[in-house]
Structure formats: structure tokens, C-alpha cells
Amino acid sequence: MTSAGAGVSASRSSMAAWRDWRAWPDSLSSLWRRSLRFRTIVVTFGLTALAVTVACVWMALLIRNDLFDSRLVQAQADAQRATVAAQETLDSAAVQGDAVQLQNLMTSVQGALSRQSASDMFAAFRIGPPSAIAPLNFTSDPRAEEIISEALRDRVRLEEGTDLQWWQSVGLPADDGSEIPGIVIGQQLQVPEVGPYELYFAYDMQDASQTLGFVQGTLWFAGIGLVLLISAIAWFVLRSVTAPIAEAAETSAKLAAGELRVRLPVRGEDELATLGRSFNAMADSIESQIKELADLSLVQQRFVSDVSHELRTPLTTIRLAADMINDQRDEFDPATARAAELLNAQVQRFETLLTDLLEISRYDAGSVQLELEPTSLAHLAEDVIASMQQLSEQHGTDVRLVAPGGYSPVDMDPRRVRRIVRNLLGNAIEHGEGRPIVVSVDSYRESVALGVRDYGLGMKPEDVDRVFDRFWRADPSRTRTIGGTGLGLSIAIGDARLHGGELAVWSELGRGTNFVLTVPRQPGGLTGPSPIPVDPGDDAVAALDDLGLTQPIDVLDMDELRALDGRDATRRGGAS
């Protein structure tokens, strides 16, 4: 039920994200980065749409121009034929200056134009000064004079000759009051004994426009269908190619996550099948090598553990003998007394090293378990600082505490956390160059943190990356002054991770080093930032002193601790 509920919740969250149009750009951008199939389909669709659009527009323009030109040529030929017929009628008549005969002749010409021309709208207008015998202007439609522009009439008036034509695109009035596309063709008509007349024919281009619309609609319909068809084909082809690639990516991710037995299914004999066989061979090789390394590591762990255990018995005997000799060193000569002291110190260091090796072997074997107790991290830090006060005084180092939070108890293993703090503080004292050391403790609702900040020489960036390596030292020429084994920080980061927390470090040459231990209040790991930043920024001890935030550990009394504890509980709102 939990799994099904999680699936329904994830599906609803995904649907809600897609319903929110403001999240679409981010969703599409993420899909573009993660999906090869989506990118290819989008690119294919875009390029195909662009190519089809260009082709359709180009073909539509060609067809439109061809339709218009052919219709224009037909109209010009029709107008020329009608004009020639009318001119022949005028040239064959003998009117002898009689106005009545001229008018009758013009009426017969009007009938000839109506019979010879395919145009339903034509008109003729007198050119030149008024004349008593000149026939009247005529139009087949009263609206004809309105659609003829002055620019066209000027060209017809200026150019003489019945074989010269001029045309203009116009909007012809329809019976329903709308306009339809058309052209007007104008030329001159010579009337004997009177002079030239303007003669105009209007032709309807609606049939060509309808044909062009049908052709364009067909082109666009075919173009859209072609784009969708090519996109579908690309999707199917890509699916056959990208599905094995996605399967290989998922299998490789499982292999990287530690599932060494996963393999790719091999189908056929093509390139993808060859890739699958090569991948499976590689996975077999990796699995065998990892098993060999695991077996070798197990042997090494057992060897270290066995040797450490076997060394404990003779080491205990040596330690007892060294303690007895060291207790009687006052009775020896100076050289023998010094040798007894060195023997006792080295035996103690050897015992510490042996203890650390045993602890490391437990981590390698995965047999470490926490012993959780409600513990105040601030009080634990106070105890560690107090226990190391003599060492800090020997190095001339002033250890200060800044603890605005961290007093409420948190479930942790106090022995391991105390070991972390002792190790961090010991390193800070050893490498702090006698400058003040600030131990900070603070808390959030989700976590508590402890920082150890020294102002010593610091480390280079490449040294910071290796500071948690086993037996690694930033400066091998420097001797250890407090008997370290080189395993302290490795054990410390292991203890921090065992608690579900983290141990981070910042260091810079000339500015010192800052270690920050962060532990979650509840099991499950850290879910937010650390209460103490790893990078301290441009801090300084003087600035802390001016604010009154630092003080030697021995100044705090129990009343102040109880006050701080109450303030810490108030800051967290009872989240402890």
C-alpha cells in the first residue's frame, strides 16, 4: 500500500507540475537535456516544418503568379479582341459629321462590345475638348466609373493607339455589397470625325482566387500531413534505436550502483547486439575484478584484525614492563633514565596505534555499532576542552568557546563524538602556532554542529582534499608533538558518517583551518545546511572579542550554563 500510494503521489505531483503553465519552461528544458528521443523529435519536427513551410510558400507564390498571369493574359486578349472589333465597326462607318449617325454608331459599338467581350462591366469616356457632334459616354454598369482610378485614366489619355493597353488590380463590387478581386484594362478607341475615347473593361478574378485558395489549402493540408508523417516515422525509427540505448543506460546505472549481475539482453546480429555483447563482457570482467578486490580486501582486513589482536597480549606484557622500568627511572643513570622514558612513551604510542588499527579494521569489516545516549554537544565540548587544558597551556594556546546553541540533549554515541572533538582540538593545538582556537557549538531544529577553528598556517587546496586519508601528513618533515598515529581524522570522519552526519573542512594558507562536525537530531541523515558554516569568511579573533562572544572555558559557571541551555531551548522552539 505504501508503494502504491507513493506512485499515485508522484503521478499527481507530475500532473500538477504540467498543469502549472509557469513550470513548463523548466520542465521542457529538463526534458530537452535528459531525453535524446525528445531532442531528435523536436529537431526533426522543426526542420521538417521549416522545409515544408518554405516549399509550400514557394509553390503557392508560383501558382498564384501563374494563375494571375494566365488570367491577365486572357483578359487582355479578350479586351483587345473586343476593341479591335469595335474599332473596325467605327472605321467602316460613313457618318459625314451627322451627330445622330455618330450616336447611333456608338450605340452599335456598345452592342458589339457586349457581344465580343467576356466582361460584364465596360465603359467609354470622351477624350479632348467638348464637341457638338461627339457621342455621349456610355457604361454598362453605373458603378464602373467609381472603380477606375485617376492614375489609370491619366495613362490611357496620354498614350495614343488602340494597340496599347494598361491594367490595374481593383476590387469589384458584388451584389451583396462586398468586393471581389478583379482587374481593369484600359485602352483608346478612335471615333471618326470626333477623336479618341477611353475604353475600359473590368474582369472578375474571383474564379482564379478560389482556385488559388483551393490549391493553397491543399498544399498546407498536404504539408501538415507530411510533417506529421515524417515526425511519426522519425519517432518509430528513434524508438527502435533509443530504446536499446535507454536500456543500456539504465543497466549501466544499476551496474554503477553495485548490482554487478545485471546484463543487457542481446537480440539479433546488428550493431546494437554487438554493443550488448561487448557491454556484457565488460560487466563480466568488472564483476570478476571487483570480487577479486573484495576478497583481497577481506584478507587484508582479517590480517590487520588478527595481527592487532595477536599483538595485544605481548604488548600488554611490554607495557607492564615499561611502566615498571619507568617508575624506577630515578634510580638509573641519566642515559638509562632517558631510555626508560622514551621506551614508555613509544609503548604508549604503539598501544594507541594498535587501538586505532583495530578501530579501522572494524570500520572496514562493517561491524561498528553505535551506543546512543542523550548527550549535550555543548557540555561534551566543555569537558573535552577542560581535559585538554594542560596541553593547550603547554603550547601557549588560548582555547575559547562560542556556544549559542547545542545544549539540549541529542541521541549520539558520546565516546565516539568525544574522540572526534579531542582529535580536532588536538590537531588545532598542534598546528595552531600558539594562536587562539575557537570552538563553536550551535544548533538548528534539524541538527547540531561543532566547529574547531584555528588561526595557524593553514593548508593548500590539494592538502585539504587528502586531509582525511589514512597516515597522510601535510608536511612529512614535521614531527608529531602529541603522539598522533595518522589515523585520527580517518576514524573521525567514519564516526561522523556513522551518526548520519558529516565532517567538513576549510583551510587556507595564512588564515588557518576550520573543521565542522554536523550531527542530525533525528535518524535518517542531514536534511539542511549546517548550523555552523564551513567557510568562516573574513572572521578574526579580535572581532569576536569586541562582540564579547568568546571567553576562556574556565570562566563559565553553572548559572551561566543553565542560562545558555534555556536560551538554546527557546531558539529551537522545543525541537530537541
Same domain flag for 283 and 175: no
Of 166, 185, 207, which closes a domain?
A: 207
| Dist CA 138 CA 113 (whole Å) | 11
Contacts of 21 (CB under 8 A, 6+ apart): none
Q: What is the pLDDT of residues 347-392, one digit of tens each?
A: 777 777 777 666 666 666 666 678 889 999 999 999 999 999 988 8
* Number of domains the chain is built from: 3
Q: Does residue 35 sit within a domain?
A: no
| Residue 576 grid cell | 530537541
Query: In sequence order, what DSSP letters do the residues of 344-378 get, joined into one string?
Result: HHHHHHHHHHHHHHHHHHHHHHT------EEE-HH
pLDDT higher than 60, residue 477: no
Same domain flag for 398 and 314: no
Strands 373-375 and 410-412: antiparallel
Q: Does residue 450 sit within a domain?
A: yes
Contact 481, 394 (CB under 8 A): no
Looking at residue 244, what is its pLDDT? 79
Contacts of 170 (CB under 8 A, 6+ apart): 147, 148, 149, 182, 183, 184, 202
Of 321, 343, 364, which closes a domain?
A: 364
Cα 126 to Cα 33, 131, 136, 188, distances in angstroms: 76, 10, 8, 10
Cα 197 to Cα 158, 220, 298, distances in angstroms: 12, 47, 116
Same domain flag for 154 and 281: no
Q: Does residue 4 sit within a domain?
A: no
Check which CATH number belongs to the domain holding 279 and give it.
1.10.287.130
Strands 399-402 and 437-443: parallel
Q: Does residue 561 sit within a domain?
A: yes
| Residue 269 grid cell | 546480429
| Dist CA 467 CA 183 (whole Å) | 90
Q: What is the pLDDT of residues 102-143, one digit of tens each?
A: 888 888 888 888 888 888 888 888 888 777 788 888 888 888
Q: Does residue 116 sit within a domain?
A: yes
480 vs 196, which has greater pLDDT?
196
User: Region 493-502: what's the mean pLDDT?
Assistant: 86
Looking at residue 421, what is its pLDDT? 92
Give me Rg for the CA atoms of the chain: 50
Q: Does residue 533 sit within a domain?
A: yes
Domain residues for the domain of 301 are: 271-364
Looking at residue 170, what is its pLDDT? 87
Q: What is the pLDDT of residues 232-259, one digit of tens each?
A: 888 888 777 777 777 888 888 888 888 8
| Residue 518 grid cell | 554536523
The residues pairing with 138 across neighbouring beta strands, listed in sequence order, are 124
Same domain flag for 331 and 420: no
| Dist CA 113 CA 140 (whole Å) | 10
Q: How many other C-beta atoms are found inside a 10 Å radius of the C-beta of residue 514?
A: 26
Same domain flag for 358 and 276: yes
Same domain flag for 377 and 335: no
Looking at residue 11, what is its pLDDT? 46
Same domain flag for 337 and 400: no
Q: Which residue has the cell 489619355?
A: 157
Contact 160, 197 (CB under 8 A): no
Same domain flag for 358 and 494: no
pLDDT higher than 70, residue 479: no
Check which CATH number belongs to the domain holding 483 and give it.
3.30.565.10
Query: In sequence order, what DSSP letters do the residues of 394-442 get, joined into one string?
Result: HTT--EEEE-SS--S-EEE-HHHHHHHHHHHHHHHHHHSTT--EEEEEE
Closest among 517, 556, 507, 500 to 439, alpha carbons compared = 517
Question: What sign does the dihedral 310-316-319-321 (CA atoms) show?
Answer: negative
Looking at residue 21, what is its pLDDT? 65
Q: What is the pLDDT of residues 186-221, one digit of tens each?
A: 988 888 888 888 889 988 887 777 777 788 788 888
User: Region 154-158: what's the mean pLDDT?
Assistant: 84
pLDDT higher than 60, residue 432: yes
Contact 196, 190 (CB under 8 A): yes
Same domain flag for 426 and 464: yes
pLDDT higher than 90, residue 277: no
Same domain flag for 291 and 355: yes
- Place 549 in a pLDDT band, splitting at 50, 70 and 90: very low
| Dist CA 564 CA 227 (whole Å) | 72
| Dist CA 117 CA 147 (whole Å) | 19
Q: What is the pLDDT of residues 320-348, one digit of tens each?
A: 887 888 788 888 888 888 888 888 777 77
Looking at residue 304, what is its pLDDT? 65
Same domain flag for 517 and 567: yes
Looking at residue 489, what is its pLDDT? 84
Of 207, 232, 248, which closes a domain?
A: 207
Q: Does residue 102 sit within a domain?
A: yes
Query: What pTM did the predictor assign?
Result: 0.45
Q: Does residue 410 sit within a domain?
A: yes
Contacts of 346 (CB under 8 A, 6+ apart): none
303 vs 287, which has greater pLDDT?
287
Q: How many other C-beta atoms are found inside a 10 Å radius of the C-beta of residue 192?
A: 15
Cα 470 to Cα 340, 354, 429, 516, distances in angstroms: 30, 14, 20, 19
Contacts of 65 (CB under 8 A, 6+ apart): none
Contact 169, 71 (CB under 8 A): no
Same domain flag for 403 and 353: no
pLDDT higher than 90, residue 452: yes
Q: What is the pLDDT of residues 171-186, one digit of tens each?
A: 888 777 778 888 898 9
pLDDT higher than 60, residue 3: no
Looking at residue 453, what is its pLDDT? 94
Check which CATH number belongs to the domain holding 161 and give it.
3.30.450
pLDDT higher than 50, residue 157: yes
Q: Average pLDDT, whole number, for the chain?
A: 78
Looking at residue 366, what is its pLDDT? 63
